Each structure stands twice: as structure tokens, then as C-alpha cells.
Structure 1
Amino acid sequence: MIFTLLQVVMPVFLVIGGGFLAARFTILSRESFDAVMRFVQQIAIPSLLFRAVSTLDLAAVFDWRLLASFYIAATTSFVLGIIGARLFFARRPGEAVAIGFAALFSNSVLLGLPIMERAFGADALAPNFAIIAIHAPFCYLLGISVMEVSRADGRGAVQTLSAIGNAIIRNAITVALALGLVVNLTGLPLWAPITEALDMLARAALPGALFALGGILIRYKLSANLAEAGMITALSLVLHPALAYLLAGPVFDLPIGYIRSAVVTAAMAPGINAFIFANMYDRAKDTVASGVLLATGVSILSASAWLWLIG
């Protein structure tokens, strides 16, 4: 059973490892990985998500119980991350929020989608897309709001709302999701060559993202903040999916496909967005980078464990 589960998740991490080795031995330059990641985040993944949301059966997959299961669990991890950073590591408020954000923001696209697809097939991804549709807006809205309130040098209400709005509308993934939703709701027909071109770009999204992620992870180091990175890892890989499982299953009694999507998405390591958020505010960057690196490595085993648990 363990070997079978590792066969599901290992190809994903082997592609990440390929990117890591290509960076380690300078087969590709730092600038090359940056360019690939920009292509993935600004073009390929938005194309994938636009096509997915534009063709989703919204009535079927947008179940409030699914979203509540995932986001109540995510918010709980965020709050506990902040409390843990403050109480156990004596972090300043802004630093604590950055650490909590790392526990909040699962790598729902770069890791969640390929692992879910390999484990349960492409047809099982619809609930994942429902979660992803509001993932970036929800997490950035929550994270930026709490950060702006907590900072001693925080801005006023108008500036805070402006910062939140800019962070959301300048995110290519958020824009693609919004446009896909518009096409879905209006039934706007798209010219066949356009959809075929978008599908070609979408096919490059996941392998390109995994390879670029490996090349970028080499820049991070497990610094002296290993205990804090361990807390981020425990919240991201254990608490978040455990709460999502309890809410989606025993509490809300969702169908198994929805439970799988909620748990697999919740069980993913923090993504690059966690470091982007810390870098944006210049708060706890080393700790968040260490958390991303440690959690991504540990998730090889933890993802297998969660896949075993949910069948």
C-alpha cells in the first residue's frame, strides 16, 4: 500500500527534484527559472484555471459545505500560527502574521492539482477548482487585512482597502478565475482556436510549475528558525487537513469526492505565495522560506498518508 501511494506522489516530487538538480548544477540559470515561473504563474496556470472555471458545473461543485470545510480549517491554522509565533517564539505582530500566512496558504495549484489528478483522475478535480476559485482572494484579503491592522506603522482604512484591492486585482490567477466565471455565467461562446490555444498552454502549467518550483526552492535554506519552520509544517500538513477532514466528513457529511478534494488541497505545503507575502511586508522572510522548504520535503510522506486515509 505504501509503495503504491508513493508511486502516485513520487512523479510529482521527481519533477520538482529535476528542477532542483538543474538549478544546483547550473544547467539552467536563476533567471531561467524566474522566467519559467513567471510564464507559469502569469500565463499557463491562468489559462488552466480559466478553462476549468468557464466549463464547471457551478451548481454542482460550489457547495458551501465544501468551502466552509476548507476555509474554516485554513483560518484556524492561520490564527494558531499567529498565536504560536507570538507566544512561543516572541515574534512581533507583523512577523507573526507572515508566519501565520504560511500556515494559511496551501500550494493548491502547483502541488494540489497534480497530486489529486494522479491519485483520483482528472474527472475528480472539479471540487478542487471550486476551492481554488476563491483561494487567492480569500487568503490575501485575510492576510493583508490582519497585517495592516497589526503593523505599528499600519495605514488608514482607505489605504488598507486600496492595498487589499490592488493585491487581488493584480493577481493574474484571480483575474483568470473571474473571467472564467463571467464566461460560465453568461454562456459566452469562445472561438474554437482560442480554446484550443488555451488548452495547449494549460497542459504546460503543472509540469512547468513543478519544475520551476524545484529550481526556486534551492534558494531557500533551513535556517536557525527550524522550530518555527516545524510549526508551520505541522499546521500546514497535519492540522489543516485534519480539520478539513473532520468538517467535510463527520460534520457536513459531504460526498467522498468533495472530502478528497478538501483534504488533499488542505494537505499541501505552503506555496511560493507565502514567501511573496512575507517579502511584500519584509517580515519573517527567512522563517517562511524555511517553512516552505521543510514542508515541501515532508509532504512527500504526509501526502501519501492522507491519500491512504481518504482511500
Structure 2
Amino acid sequence: MLGILISILPVFLVVGFGYIAVRNKLFPDQSVDGLMMFAQNFAIPALLFRAMSTLELGEAFHPALFLSYYGGATVSFLLCLLGARLLFERPWEDSIAIGFCGLLANGLLLGVPVTEQAFGPEATESNFVIISVNSLYCYGLGITAMEIARARSSGGSLAQMPMRVLRAMFRNSLILGIGAGLLVNISGVTLPAFFTEALDMMARAALPAALFGLGGVLCFYRPEGDLRTIAWIVLASLVVHPTVTWLIGSATSLPEPGFRSAVTMAAMAPGVNTYLFANMYGVARRVVASAVLIGTAVSLFTTWVWLALLH
């Protein structure tokens, strides 16, 4: 088990370096925003474009892969949402933002590098397949639920809701990178070598820059708010999501490479975008931010356990 911990430790150390650098004023606060903007709007879309454009679509898109991962994500979403509403008596809008924490794991910034470190670079193919629909599914579900809740409380019309959901999703640079890559893959277009080499240079910088920036972003958060609610989110994200994914993957005989990727991705802490979602609607920001921070710290140890079981 020690070997597994050592294999994934570099991923968390890069996050830690970013945290320490920002906390000790060695890396300016405003530079974190610039670094994350570069990673999320340019380098990671380039990485996703290249992954999607070269993916073997027929072999990789296994229905059981989506069912296992997103089945677990949906259960985690409902558990967080209903727990926040029924156990902790939060308003519906707060509860949906808290539910979004259980839905959107940090699969891209943590799940991909952890899978690569634990199982090798070739093992990440199924990770990118999961990511290919992640924003569409998670933002589609989260935004739709939030818009219904807001219309219910304000008495507004739901007629404009589909357009608001689509507009919010397709402004996302990650979705654009994935969509463009799939179009190139399906069309069979051969891109010029100088262009793909430039994209590969960007892609190689994506995960190190994003992990370092993630550490800096986490430095801005403080563990505040209702600790019981935060513990509930962390439990759903780090235990329930991967457990349900494991059970569905086993029941559907998901092939081993996809099974490992699905469980590893499901075992990641809530992503930073969960805070951006809460901030967009101005609800449950302290609780969500604290869950991201605490969940990321705890996930070093829970990920170690899940990878030991997978090995």
C-alpha cells in the first residue's frame, strides 16, 4: 500500500506547492487567477481536444462506463441535496448547490493525473471518455434544478429555462474543446503536424499548471460554515460516489480499464467548479468552499484506500 501512496503523492504535492507558495506570498494572489485562466481556458481545452480527436470511439464509449460513473454521481447528488434540505434544513437553492458538490468530482485536475500515476499513461483513455460528457451532464442537471427552484420561489416562468441552460453550458471552454475534438475524430480530418505539435505543447502544461493553480485557489478558502453539512458532502463525495460506481461497474461487468478509471474518478474530491456554481447563484458559498478544501485534503488518504482496493 505504501507504493500506491508514493505513486499518487506527486499529484497532491504539486497542489501543496501551490498552496504553500500563495499562502507565503511567494506567488501573487492575482497570478493565481491568470494561471487558472490559462489552464482552464487554453491548456486544458487543448488537452481535451487532442484526447477526443485521437480516441478510438467505438472501443472506448462503453455504456456501462457511463452508467457506473454517472449512476454514482447522481446518487451522491441526491444524497447531498436531500441531506441538506431534510437533515440540515437548508433552502432549496442552497441544497442544490450542496448537491452539486456531490455531483461534480474533480476528475480532470485530480482524477486524470492520479490514474496516470497509479496505472500508467495509457490507462487514462476511459477517464477522458467520462470527461467528454461530464460538463454536459453535471451542468445540465445542476443548472436545470437550480432554475426550477428559483422559478418556484420567485413565481417566474420556466419557458426560458432550456435556453439559459444551453447558454451556460456552451460558454464553457472545456465543452468547446471536447466538441471540436469529437468533430475532428468523427470527420476523419488530418490536422497539420505543426498545429498538433503546438496543441501538444499546450496540453503538456495543462495538468501541472492546473494542479499548482488549484493549490493557490484552495488557499483562498477557509473551513467555515456548518461542519456537519461539510462532513456530509465529503462522505457522499469520497465514499458514496465511488462505492455506487464500484457496485454498478461490477454488476454490469465493466471491463477492468474502464472500471479502474471510473472508480478512481469517482473517488476524487468536489472540484473547484462547484464553488463557481455556488458563487454564480450566490448560495451556500462558505459551505461549498469549505467542502472543496477539506475534501481535497482528505482525498489523499481515501484515494490511497480506493487504489489499494483496485490493485
Place the TM-score, normalised by the shorter chain, in its bin. over 0.9
**Are 1:307 and 2:307 matched, yes or no?**
yes
Tell me, in whole angstroms, the C-alpha distance in 1 between the residues paired with 2:136 and 2:183. Answer: 16
Deviation at 1:157, TM superposition (A): 2.6
How far does the alpha carbon of each residue in 1:217-262 deviate from its partner, in whole angstroms, 9 at most, with x for none?
011111132111111110000000000011111x101111111011
> For 1:289-300, what aligned pairs fall within 5 Å after superposition?
289-300=289-300
Question: Which secondary structure state, in structure 1, belongs to the residue aligned with residue 25 of structure 2?
Answer: coil
TM-score (norm 2): 0.98
Structure 1 gap segments, 5+ residues each: none
Deviation at 1:264, TM superposition (A): 0.4
Deviation at 1:159, TM superposition (A): 2.1
The equivalent of 1:142 in structure 2 is: 141
Whether the 8 Å CA contact 2:230–2:291 is kept in 1: the answer is yes
> For 1:252-291, what aligned pairs fall within 5 Å after superposition?
252-291=252-291
> For 1:97-246, what aligned pairs fall within 5 Å after superposition?
97-151=96-150, 152-153=153-154, 155-246=156-247
Query: Cα 1:12–1:154, aligned 2, differ >3 Å: closer, same or farther?
Result: farther
**Are 1:247 and 2:264 matched, yes or no?**
no
Deviation at 1:308, TM superposition (A): 0.5
Query: Cα 1:166–1:15, aligned 2, differ >3 Å: closer, same or farther?
Result: same
How far does the alpha carbon of each residue in 1:164-209 deviate from its partner, in whole angstroms, 9 at most, with x for none?
1111110000000000000000001101000000000000011100
Whether the 8 Å CA contact 2:278–2:288 is kept in 1: the answer is yes
Deviation at 1:99, TM superposition (A): 0.2
Question: Which secondary structure state, in structure 1, belongs to the residue aligned with residue 221 of structure 2?
Answer: coil
Question: Which secondary structure state, in structure 1, belongs to the residue aligned with residue 160 of structure 2?
Answer: helix
The equivalent of 1:17 in structure 2 is: 16
Say how many residue pairs are matched. 309
Tell me, in whole angstroms, the C-alpha distance in 2 between the residues paired with 1:79 and 1:247. Answer: 17
How far does the alpha carbon of each residue in 1:8-43 deviate from its partner, in whole angstroms, 9 at most, with x for none?
121111100100011011111111000000000000
Whether the 8 Å CA contact 2:81–2:99 is kept in 1: the answer is yes
Question: Which secondary structure state, in structure 1, belongs to the residue aligned with residue 279 of structure 2?
Answer: helix
Question: Which secondary structure state, in structure 1, belongs to the residue aligned with residue 154 of structure 2?
Answer: coil
Tell me, in whole angstroms, the C-alpha distance in 1 between the residues paired with 2:40 and 2:157. Answer: 31
How far does the alpha carbon of each residue in 1:255-303 deviate from its partner, in whole angstroms, 9 at most, with x for none?
1111101100101001111001000111100000010011000000000
The residue type paired with residue 298 of structure 1 is: V
Whether the 8 Å CA contact 2:148–2:158 is kept in 1: the answer is no
Tell me, in whole angstroms, the C-alpha distance in 1 between the residues paired with 2:94 and 2:186. Answer: 40
TM-score (norm 1): 0.98
**Are 1:72 and 2:71 matched, yes or no?**
yes
Percent identity over paired residues: 45
The equivalent of 2:38 in structure 1 is: 39
How far does the alpha carbon of each residue in 1:111-157 deviate from its partner, in whole angstroms, 9 at most, with x for none?
00000000011101111111000001100000011111112137423
Whether the 8 Å CA contact 1:225–1:290 is kept in 2: the answer is no
Structure 2 gap segments, 5+ residues each: none
The residue type paired with residue 293 of structure 1 is: L
CA RMSD of aligned residues (A): 0.9
Question: Which secondary structure state, in structure 2, belongs to the residue aligned with residue 157 of structure 1?
Answer: coil
Q: Structure 1 stretch 95-104 or stretch 153-162: which is displaced more?
A: 153-162
Tell me, in whole angstroms, the C-alpha distance in 2 between the residues paired with 1:255 and 1:269. Answer: 24
